[in-house]
A and B are shown apart, each in its own frame.
Chain A
Amino acid sequence: MRMFTMAAGAAVLSLGVATAAGATTPPAGTTAGTAAAGTGAAAAVDLCSAAAAGPITIVHLTDVKGESPTAIDDFSNGSALAAKQINEQCGKEIVKVERIATDFSAEAFETNVLKAQEMKPTVIIGQGSSSQMSKNSLVTDGGIPTLWPVGTASALKGGENYSELSWMLRVVNDTQGQVWGKYVVDAGFKKAWMECVTTQLGVSGCGAAEPILKAGGVEVIGRSDSATDATDFTNSVTTIKDKGADVVVLAQFPRPTLAFAKAVEDNGLAGKVKLIGSTSTELIYQALSPAAQGSMVALADCNPPTDAPDVAAAYQAAYQKGMTSLAAVTYDAVFMTVDAVAREGSTDPKKVAEGIASTHLKGVCQTYSDSGSHALAHHMVVTSFGGGKVTTEKSYDLDADGKALAGG
Chain B
Amino acid sequence: MARFVALFLSGMTDGVVAALAAVGLLVLNKATGIVNFAHGDLITLGAYLGIWLINGHGWGYVPAVTVSLVLMFAVGVVMERVSLAPLRGKSVHVVVIATLGLALALRSLVGIWQGTDPKRLESPVPGRSTVFGATVTHHRLLIIAVALVVLVAVMGFFARTSWGRQVRAVAADRVMAQLAGVRAGTLSMAAFGFSAALAGLCGLLVAPLGAIDLNLGFGIMLNSFAAMVIGGSGSVGGVVIAGVGIGLIERVIGGYVLTDYSEAFPFVVMILAIALRPQGLFGQREHAARL
Q: Using a CB–CB distance below 8 Å, which chain A residues touch chain B?
A: 65, 67, 69-70, 72-73, 198, 224-227, 229-232, 234-235, 238, 241-242, 254-255, 258-259, 262-263, 266-268, 283-284, 286-289
> Distance in Å from the Cβ of B11 to the closest Cβ of chain A?
9
Taking a contact as CB atoms under 8 Å apart, the answer to whether A255 and B111 are in contact is: no
CA distance A70 to B118 in the complex (A): 8
Q: Which residues of B contact A230 (CB under 8 A)?
A: 263
Taking a contact as CB atoms under 8 Å apart, the answer to whether A262 and B211 are in contact is: yes
CA distance A235 to B8 in the complex (A): 11
> Distance in Å from the Cβ of A198 to the closest Cβ of chain B?
8
Known contacts A224-B260, A230-B263, A234-B255: A259-B219 contact under CB 8 Å: no
Taking a contact as CB atoms under 8 Å apart, the answer to whether A229 and B218 are in contact is: yes
Q: Which residues of A contact B251 (CB under 8 A)?
A: 232, 234-235
Some 9 contacts from A to B, beta carbons below 8 A apart, are: A69-B213, A231-B209, A232-B10, A234-B6, A235-B7, A238-B6, A254-B211, A267-B128, A268-B135
Taking a contact as CB atoms under 8 Å apart, the answer to whether B7 and A238 are in contact is: yes
Taking a contact as CB atoms under 8 Å apart, the answer to whether B14 and A232 are in contact is: yes
> Distance in Å from the Cβ of A257 to the closest Cβ of chain B?
8
> Distance in Å from the Cβ of B219 to the closest Cβ of chain A?
5
Taking a contact as CB atoms under 8 Å apart, the answer to whether B219 and A229 are in contact is: yes
Taking a contact as CB atoms under 8 Å apart, the answer to whether A259 and B3 are in contact is: no
Taking a contact as CB atoms under 8 Å apart, the answer to whether B210 and A255 are in contact is: yes
> Distance in Å from the Cβ of B156 to the closest Cβ of chain A?
30
Q: Which residues of B contact A286 (CB under 8 A)?
A: 117
> Does residue B137 face the partner (Cβ distance < 8 Å to A)?
yes
Known: A72-B116, A268-B135, A287-B212. 18 other contacts (CB 8 A): A69-B214, A70-B117, A226-B260, A226-B263, A232-B10, A232-B14, A234-B10, A235-B7, A235-B251, A235-B255, A238-B134, A255-B210, A258-B211, A266-B128, A267-B135, A268-B128, A286-B117, A289-B120
Shortest Cβ distance from B220 into A: residue: A231
Q: Which residues of A contact B262 (CB under 8 A)?
A: 235
Taking a contact as CB atoms under 8 Å apart, the answer to whether B118 and A262 are in contact is: no
Shortest Cβ distance from A231 into B: residue: B210
For A231, give its contact among B111, B137, B219 (CB under 8 Å): B219
Q: Which residues of A contact B107 (CB under 8 A)?
A: 65
CA distance A153 to B260 in the complex (A): 25
Q: Which residues of B contact A268 (CB under 8 A)?
A: 128, 135
CA distance A65 to B103 in the complex (A): 14
CA distance A198 to B262 in the complex (A): 13
> Distance in Å from the Cβ of A260 to the closest Cβ of chain B?
8
> Does residue B215 face the partner (Cβ distance < 8 Å to A)?
yes
Q: Which residues of A contact B219 (CB under 8 A)?
A: 229, 231
Known contacts A255-B210, A255-B215, A258-B211: A235-B118 contact under CB 8 Å: no
Within B4-18, the residues touching A (CB, 8 Å) are 6-7, 10, 14
> Distance in Å from the Cβ of A196 to the closest Cβ of chain B?
9
Taking a contact as CB atoms under 8 Å apart, the answer to whether B214 and A227 are in contact is: no
Q: Which residues of B contact A226 (CB under 8 A)?
A: 260, 263
Taking a contact as CB atoms under 8 Å apart, the answer to whether A69 and B111 are in contact is: yes
The 9 closest A-B pairs by CB, nearest first: A258-B211, A259-B210, A69-B116, A234-B10, A287-B118, A235-B255, A225-B260, A267-B135, A266-B137
Q: Mark B246-260, 1 if CB is under 8 A from A, else 0.
A: 000001001100011
CA distance A262 to B207 in the complex (A): 12
> Distance in Å from the Cβ of B107 to the closest Cβ of chain A?
8
CA distance A226 to B119 in the complex (A): 22
Taking a contact as CB atoms under 8 Å apart, the answer to whether A238 and B2 are in contact is: yes
CA distance A231 to B206 in the complex (A): 10
Q: Which residues of A contact B260 (CB under 8 A)?
A: 198, 224-226
Shortest Cβ distance from B214 into A: residue: A69
> Distance in Å from the Cβ of A12 to the closest Cβ of chain B?
29
CA distance A286 to B216 in the complex (A): 17
CA distance A283 to B137 in the complex (A): 27
> Distance in Å from the Cβ of A47 to the closest Cβ of chain B?
33
Within B165-209, the residues touching A (CB, 8 Å) are 209
Q: Which residues of A contact B216 (CB under 8 A)?
A: 255
Known contacts A229-B215, A232-B251, A266-B137: A287-B10 contact under CB 8 Å: no
Taking a contact as CB atoms under 8 Å apart, the answer to whether A255 and B211 are in contact is: yes
Taking a contact as CB atoms under 8 Å apart, the answer to whether B128 and A65 are in contact is: no
Taking a contact as CB atoms under 8 Å apart, the answer to whether A235 and B259 are in contact is: yes
CA distance A242 to B118 in the complex (A): 30
